[in-house]
Structure 1
Amino acid sequence: MLKPFLRQPNSSLFTTSKLALMVFFSLTLSACGKPEVKVKPPAPAVSVYSVKAQAIGGYREFVARTEPFKEAALRARVEGELIARHFREGSNVEQGQILLQIDPAAYKAALSAAKADLSSRISGEENAKRNLKRANELISDGYISQSDYDRLTTEESQARSAVKAAAASLEKAELDLSYTTIKAPFSGRIGKVNYNIGNIVGPTSNPLATLIISDPIYVSFQVEESFYISYLQKNQGARTGNEGEFELSLRLPNNSTYQEKGKFDFADTKISQGMGTVELRTVFPNPRDIILPGLFVTLIVETRDKEEMALIPQAAVQQNQQGKFVLIVGKDNRVKLRHVVLGRRINAMWVVEKGVAIGEQVIVAGLQKVRPGVEVNGVKKQVNPLTGTITDFNDKATNSAKANDVNISPNAAVDK
């Protein structure tokens, strides 16, 4: 009863579906059996710097302190009230210029008394001389005794001595009066006044003010006794330095380089027993009074005989447990790790004593992308030797000239 309601399958439709399914499985099996093609990633790009050479001399730095070329503490040599000041603190004064005035009234009176006393003593001497002259005429005739003659001789001698004493007192009174006027012993710059007008000052008082000469200015420093002895042996006992052998410069506390050059001036005659050092002194021009006495500075001593040495940017230097190292891109474009021995630091550059050759390419940027043995694409960059800024060679806005070709002054902002 149900057979009339059942539909028989279409043989042609069944065949077509079967063929489509077989083709699908065939393509799937074919795709699974074919090997996958791998695409090689491009080499990472890194910035490299071509190592250049520069003439660098032997070099040492010393902590030094500046001292005035000449210094005078102005003191009161007589006691009295300070009544006048004739200068502005911190200004320049000329030799012989009146600086301070102590009340001279008492010393003027003492001078007048000394003059009167001298006049009286001179009169007494003249009278004693006359009496002795008459005695010389009378003693031969026996009109005066020998004892009277001896007395007159003594009086004449005492009167003469009294005149000399009065003259000395007058000279002292004149000196005391002159000491009430304090003058500049030399031309220089005067500092702060320690006593105001109206104060009583005297020989036991502290200095009234200090006068200095700071152009030129001394720079003193100390060296180890072993270094000093070696220097003397090398230079046949020359104690203050060979002017043609060393170049002296200063780095100021703000890390700027002082423009003037110095020269050796003095070496102490003994070794400090407590420190085992020798004090040396240099002298520098100071025409603009930039350097003040008492300033701590860094004295840079460099030999004039220089040697070509490699310089690399600070950005290229890294450190591990074995020490400082750089990454170099070889001719095969692969990265190599190279440990280096560094010398002095000149602005943004390090002097390399050992480990890097002139012309090698050191990586300065992109260090985090690579490791030793990896192939890289090195892009040459220029580095500003003063600031360490890394730029392209065509970036004229940042550097007007190629930093690779800039000659770095060894005395410009130098650090160890």
Structure 2
Amino acid sequence: MFNNSFQNTDDFLSQPRFLMKTCLSLSLLALLSACSEQNTQASAPPPPAVSVYQVKQIAVGQHHEFVARTEAYKEAQLTARVEGELIEKSFREGGRVKKGDVLLKIDPSAYQASFEQAQADLDSRESGFQNAIRNLKRANDLISQGYISQSDYDKLTTEESQAKAAVSVAKAALEKAELNLSYTHIVAPFDGRIGKANFDVGNVVGPQSGSLATLTVTDPIYVNFQVKESEYVTHMQMRSQGKREGQIDISLMLPNNTVYPEKGELDYADIKIDEGTGTVELRAKFPNPSGVILPGLFVNLVVESVQKEQMAYVPQSAVQENQQGKFVLVVDENNTVTQRIVQLGRRVNAMWVVESGLAVNEQVIIEGLQKVRPGIVVNPVVKSVDVVTGTISASTASEN
């Protein structure tokens, strides 16, 4: 039986058809494997393109930022000093006025009548005074000759004194009447811009009515802020010793995150420390020729030392944050992406100052961040960034 089995098996394996099938199968497997490798190599995607920014330097000094509020250089609340009907408004709300311009008029009829009455009373009192002077003069001649008694003479002297006093009272009444009449014309005490009128023509106004309108001067403009007592003392010590660290530049960051082009100067420091907050009230003064800054505006005041050093800075769009802190994605000389933890300083418009973690001329990714991860190879395209607005555009040859 076993011999027959082996014999049949040998006969089967010796069949030419079996050998041919086996060879064909092996060849087919080899061909499929080669094609698979070629397809794999052909379908490998190219490195993703990303926009990069070449790190540059900026001169920055030690700085502090303070929340501050603007205040008008001059401000006057125009009020009524006499009561009456408002009959005229002679200004354009929000416009400019000159010193001495009549801005508002109150009905002067009653005050004009009082003035005329006071003038007539003064004329009467002066006439009586002149008559008393003449009577006393005649009495001086008669008393020496014994034609009048001493008591009559004394009476004439008293009448002259009373007439003189009555003239003084009448003059004071006339001055008051004239002053009240002048108060019916409300004039600008200085050049400036006037705000909204709080009362319309036809309203009855008076001393209890409050402000009728507000007149302000906004060029220059004040900016009030507070500093810690320790910072104030340090600054004053350096300043008194003539050190450059005590010399400062003062600038403003406006609410729309733009830097105000004009530089300021310290104008006032309070004479005492606020015991509750441990701060000193300071005031800076800024030119405001275009009127961009209005009173009551909240701004960030930046105090920076004159002594500066060169530091790297990057666009805000390049900075990300995780549990380890803020980081950027750097493209190295082999076009490989690496993650770099950075320590950031102050923000300058659309840029961050980098205190540590980056060097000048390194390339950081600013567009295409969602397509990459550390360790992969990318195709970097250098772009430029507007440092004020943060707008990304094609890089120029000079920037490269």
TM-score range, shorter chain: 0.7 to 0.9
Deviation at 1:146, TM superposition (A): 2.8
* Among 64, 67, 70, the residue aligned to 2:71: 67
Structure 1: segments with no counterpart, 5+ residues: 1-10, 391-397, 406-416
* Match runs of 1:19-98 below 5 Å: 19-20=19-20, 23=23, 44=47, 47=50, 48-98=52-102
Separation (CA, whole Å) in 2 of partners of 1:89 and 1:145: 73
* Match runs of 1:198-237 below 5 Å: 198-236=202-240
- Superposed CA deviations along residues 252-296 of structure 1, whole A, max 9, x for unmatched, are 223333333332222222223333322222222222322222222
363-372 or 187-196, which deviates more: 363-372
- Superposed CA deviations along residues 134-167 of structure 1, whole A, max 9, x for unmatched, are 3322333433333333222222211111111111
Deviation at 1:171, TM superposition (A): 1.4
RMSD over aligned Cα, in angstroms? 3.5
Answer whether contact 1:189 1:213 (CA < 8 A) is retained.
Answer: yes
2:380 — aligned with what? 379
1:268 — aligned with what? 270
Separation (CA, whole Å) in 2 of partners of 1:222 and 1:213: 23
Answer whether contact 1:46 1:376 (CA < 8 A) is retained.
Answer: no
2:253 — aligned with what? 251
Identity of aligned residues (%): 57
Letter of the structure 2 residue corresponding to residue 281 of structure 1: R
Alignment length (residue pairs): 378
Instruction: Return the TM-score normalized by structure 2.
Output: 0.81
Gap change, CA 1:312 and 1:162, over 3 Å in 2:
same
Separation (CA, whole Å) in 2 of partners of 1:351 and 1:384: 14
* Match runs of 1:90-169 below 5 Å: 90-169=94-173
Instruction: Return the TM-score normalized by structure 1.
Output: 0.78
Answer whether contact 1:382 1:402 (CA < 8 A) is retained.
Answer: no
Letter of the structure 1 residue corresponding to residue 382 of structure 2: K
Separation (CA, whole Å) in 2 of partners of 1:87 and 1:129: 52
Separation (CA, whole Å) in 2 of partners of 1:164 and 1:306: 71
Answer whether contact 1:52 1:404 (CA < 8 A) is retained.
Answer: no
Structure 2: segments with no counterpart, 5+ residues: 1-10
Separation (CA, whole Å) in 1 of partners of 2:196 and 2:368: 57
Gap change, CA 1:166 and 1:403, over 3 Å in 2:
farther
49-58 or 155-164, which deviates more: 49-58
Matched, 1:181 2:185: yes
Gap change, CA 1:157 and 1:257, over 3 Å in 2:
same
Deviation at 1:96, TM superposition (A): 1.4
Considering fraction of residues, name the structure with more helix. Answer: 2
Answer whether contact 2:221 2:288 (CA < 8 A) is retained.
Answer: yes
1:278 — aligned with what? 280
Separation (CA, whole Å) in 2 of partners of 1:307 and 1:286: 30
165-174 or 145-154, which deviates more: 145-154
Gap change, CA 1:123 and 1:261, over 3 Å in 2:
same
Gap change, CA 1:368 and 1:295, over 3 Å in 2:
closer
